[in-house]
Amino acid sequence: MKRASLLAAAAFLASFSLAPAHAAEPLKIGFISTLSGPGAALGKDLLDGFNLGIEQSGGKLGGRTVELVTGDDQLKPDVGRQLAERMIQRDKVDLIAGVVFSNVMMAVAKPIFDSKTFMLSLNAGPSALAGNRCSPYFFNVAWQNDQSHEAMGKHVKDQGFKRVYLMAPNYPAGKDALTGFKRYYSGGEIIGEVYTQINQPDYAAELAQLRAAKPDAVYIFYPGGMGVNFIKQYAQAGLKEEVPLLGPSFSFDQTILPAVGDAALGVYNTGFWSPDMPNPQNQKFVKAFEAKYSRPPSPFAAQAYDGALLLASALAETGGSVKDEAKFRVAMRAAKFESVRGPFSFNTNHYPIQNFYLRQVVKNDEGRITNKLIGTVFARHMDAYHDQCKMK
């Protein structure tokens, strides 16, 4: 009896001594982003917004300090896959976050899901992962690729444009973009649908074809350096005065506008967020981001910031652990955080249900080129693929 009591006491003391050590272990998050090349500004805003969200959560998530294991995918799917495999197998990360481009996301998805590691997309929202390839290990805190483009398709239809020309880079997000636009643009004619090479720097030949087609409006999806080059060349060709240019927020945001300048003024674009949204959480975020990084935030920074707050809310429910998969999944689905974009919830496929807005590029009172919120196009908008997902 005495021996049994001693053993029980020893076991209790051992478990007690181990508890602080476990609590002191950092939460390891693998962060995959495009941090070099023409898309680097997008990846940098993603990383900075995520880090700010962690900082605003007290520097911890679920009571645990955070160790970011950061990797640059270079906008190369094979590099992204190698990073994911290394983070899972060698670095033993607790979960993975980030990813700007959808071709990279499709490459990293299989090794991440096969290992039963949770993935939080802070940007890429390919249609395949929203539909029949949805996964209980995947959450997207940004949007499904089609959605911002669907909003502009509706706006263009409502404005009565009859003949529209479409352009996007030839990769999954580009194809989802134009599919989304066409889904809500009905009654008009698509007189051109052009897919260019990803990271293509010169559009002279395409602009000549566009001019010859004589459309009523042009809709583009060109993020990052692609957007800078295209918008500048569009204006230099004199097309801005001839044919209205339209796009999603990602082609007319703060990763692009400083380099484009006046060539973007007046352009209407659609997205889930605008820097002048009046809710207190957004005002706090914009002020803190500018103070920390000496530049205004883009949608990429906003959605990554939300991603950190989402994780903080979920991990607070699980004591900082992702090991109880069912409990962590339920906590993530609950999305108990205040989003910078206003109303936010998850659909059954783990993609957001949210509002989409019309914005216009303007020059504010301080002379900065930015976006002004014009109105709401969709309220609590669901993606087109959620019914194909077998999760309930």
For residue 233, the domain's CATH number is 3.40.50.2300
Residue 174 token pair: 């580009």
d(CA 159, CA 162): 9
Is residue 256 one of the residues assigned to a domain? Answer: yes
Is residue 163 one of the residues assigned to a domain? Answer: yes
pLDDT in tens, 291-320: 999 999 999 999 999 999 999 999 999 999
Is residue 181 one of the residues assigned to a domain? Answer: yes
Q: Cα–chain-centroid distance for residue 275?
A: 15
pLDDT in tens, 51-102: 999 999 999 999 999 999 999 999 999 999 999 999 999 999 999 999 999 9
Give the gyration radius of the chain's Cα atoms.
22
> What is the DSSP secondary-structure string of 81-101?
HHHHHHHHHTS--SEEEE---
The model's pTM is 0.92
3-state secondary structure (DSSP) of residue 168: strand
Residue 373 token pair: 């919120």
Residue 145 token pair: 């690729």
Is residue 306 one of the residues assigned to a domain? Answer: no
d(CA 118, CA 329): 9
Q: Quote helix, strand, coil % in the chain, to nearest 5.
A: 45, 20, 35
Domain extent, residue 226, equals 146-271
Number of domains observed in the structure of the chain: 1
pLDDT in tens, 159-213: 999 999 999 999 999 999 999 999 999 889 999 999 999 999 999 999 999 999 9
Neighbour tally for 208: CB within 10 Å: 11
H or E segment at 57? none
d(CA 109, CA 86): 14
Residues in the chain: 392
